[in-house]
């Protein structure tokens, strides 16, 4: 679940149902020094569902109090 919540748009392959994930269980870093990564093949409809979830989460973010004050004019 943690790996799914960390997904970025660049982690979804636009041409195939593949996710490029950071392997959180692997402690040893690869020789290049980057984070250990793994490729996961998923069902064909999962990337579209993940994009929809990300869009819904972005729309559901709470408005901060300073932003609400700017909109309403209240101090």
Q: What letter would DSSP give residue 38?
A: E
Q: What is the rounded CA–CA span in Å between residue 10 and residue 12? A: 5
So what's the pLDDT on residue 63? 56
So what's the pLDDT on residue 41? 92
So what's the pLDDT on residue 23? 78
- Is this prediction's pTM over 0.85? no
Residues of the chain with pLDDT under 50: 72
Domain count of the fold of the chain: 1
So what's the pLDDT on residue 64? 58
């Amino acid at each position: 679940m943690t790996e799914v919540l960390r997904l970025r748009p660049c982690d979804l392959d636009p041409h195939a149902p593949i996710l490029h994930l950071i392997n959180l269980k692997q402690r040893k870093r690869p020789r290049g020094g980057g984070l250990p990564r793994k490729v996961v093949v998923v069902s064909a409809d999962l990337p579209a569902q993940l994009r929809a979830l990300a869009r819904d989460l972005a729309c559901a973010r709470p408005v901060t109090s300073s932003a609400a004050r700017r909109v309403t004019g209240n101090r």
